[in-house]
Structure 1
Amino acid sequence: MAYDVQQLLDMSQQQLDDLFRASPPGDIPSGEADGTAIIAPGTRYTLSIAKTISYFGWQGKVFDAENGVLKNKVTPFGVKAIVAKVYKGDSWLDGRECIVLDYSETSLVAHWIRDEIRLISPNFYLGKVYWGKERLIDFCLQF
């Protein structure tokens, strides 16, 4: 099934977790992806929060698969900053393979953050954000 951003925003947390568990890791992506934060999934606030974050804070990521790194697009101007290492590893959600976005050795600002992504549709990834080992939010990336 092909998914879109609105479908993910409408899902409950359990549905997002189930979709992540059922999805393959896919290949480590390369290039620029538009990102959407998914906070309070399935509620009437989800879309408003996503739009606010996209405008003021985070717009997505730019991957360099060849070198195993990425930069986030942040601020209203889409500044490329906050670097992460990118590699395949075991998910903290279910222990199965995923693509890990690891900030622990590359960022002073986000060194306690770890993201995990899996491919849910062609050029479309669902992600989980962890602060330490604590799950924070979900997000999606469209290439």
Structure 2
Amino acid sequence: MTRGKGADVDQLMTLSRPDLDELFRMSPAGEIPVGDARGTVLAARGAAVSTMAARVVRLIVWKGKVFDAERGELRNRVTPFGVRAIRAKVYRDPSRLDDGECTVLDYSRTSVLAHWIRDEIREIKPGVYLGIVYWGRRKVLNFALSCPGSPTSGSARHAS
């Protein structure tokens, strides 16, 4: 799968962890997302299991992230009600996966609950990001973000 050609969230759900890692490696950091981003957990266990896991997680636990470019931070949308909580700082840094540039979502100084978590994202297609969740130094999960308001998505929204 090449960057920019059909790499959508449904296709990501069919990929294995090694395939997700390879796609992450070959993708650029891209623009830092702006505004609401719909989140999808990628279980990397085949399409049927990944789809079911993503639906359950989105329904009960995590709906996505809201990026605030002016503050260089985000808040996760959690619970069935999409409450904005669990803040992270957003900045560029080398990836733990391959030392290439990525966007880091750093919870170490902003969250008591998630202080050991670091997410890394890269843009695999305009407005679509592939992410890796690290717990300390250990890679534990992949996720996708769909960001219709991002600068490269073609439908960027203007802040008011």
Smaller-chain TM-score range? over 0.9
Q: How does 1:2-41 map to 2 (within 5 A)?
A: 2-41=6-45
**Identical positions, percent:** 54
Q: Distance in 2 between matches of 1:26 and 1:46?
A: 25
The one-character-per-residue Cα deviations of 1:92-133 (angstroms, maximum 9, x if unpaired) are: 000100000000000000000000000000111000000000
What is residue 157 of structure 2 aligned with on the other side? none
Aligned mates of 2:6, 2:66 — CA distance in 1:
22
Partner of 1:10, secondary structure, is coil
- Following TM superposition, the consecutive aligned residue runs of length 4 or more in structure 1 with deviations greater than 3 angstroms are none
**TM-score normalized by the length of structure 2:** 0.87
Q: In the alignment, what sits opposite 1:85?
A: 89
Alpha-carbon offset, residue 27 of structure 1: 1.3
Distance in 2 (alpha carbons) for counterparts of 1:2 and 1:111: 35
TM-superposed CA distance for 1:45, in Å, is 1.4
Q: Distance in 1 between matches of 2:144 and 2:9?
A: 7
Q: Which has more strand, going by share of residues?
A: 1
**Secondary structure at the counterpart of residue 53 of structure 1:** helix
Aligned-pair Cα RMSD in Å: 1.0
What per-residue deviation string (whole Å, max 9, x for no partner) do you get for residues 50-103 of structure 1? Answer: 110000000000001121100000000000000000000000000100000000
Structure 2 unpaired stretches of 5+: 148-160
- Is 1:48 aligned to residue 52 of structure 2? yes
